[in-house]
Amino acid sequence: MKALLLLSGGIDSPVAGFLAKEKNELYCLHFSSTKITGAQSIEKSKKAAEKLNSELFVLDYSDALEKIVQKTKRKFYFVLMKRLMLKVAEKICEKRKFDFIVTGENIGQVSSQTLSNLVSISFGIKKPVLRPLLCFDKQEIIDLSKKLGFYEFSVGPETCDALGPEKPATKSIQFRVSEEEEKAEFTELIQNLFLQFEKQTKTAKTQA
């Protein structure tokens, strides 16, 4: 089966990708915020994807993040950010005939990973979302990252926090999240990012 890993520049997702890759063909998708935080996360993701021996797609969603900040309630920022990534990933899965999405999320590590928010993040997503690290302790993930050789280039500040609120929501109700998506015109944001993916992949084919 073919899996699409949401690969961040952090510690967790490369480990999740390694576990998912044991029985599946793995592809990686990195959402960068280059206009906001620079290209550091891209370089980290390239190293992780290379070590995973997987093709990497990179999409810059800086403009989408700024629109979410401008149009929605800040406390829902992280939930909306994760939903945007999943919805774009779902469209890519449909286009490339990938079977499921993989993330590095685990319960309670950050505000967006409470049970309530994980449910809100995933609702309505038709492609299965696998979370291999869901019940792992953070130290277990760090130990695995070191053992597998990811830790050295994965460690460092998380750039996804750059536009985050001081007090993010730890609980969310699905219909409220949907209301915030409408404010940010999610349908347009998703389509724009998917078109960026289409353009990128066509360019890569032309250059090959």
pLDDT in tens, 115-157: 889 999 999 999 999 999 999 999 999 999 999 999 998 887 6
Whether the pLDDT of residue 88 is over 60: the answer is yes
State how far the alpha carbon of 112 is from the alpha carbons of 31, 34, 75, 163, in Å: 17, 22, 10, 14
Query: Which domains occur in the chain, in start order?
Result: 2-207 (3.40.50.620)
pLDDT in tens, 59-82: 999 999 999 999 999 999 999 999
At residue 113, the pLDDT reads 83
Residue 159's pLDDT band, with cuts at 50, 70 and 90, is: low
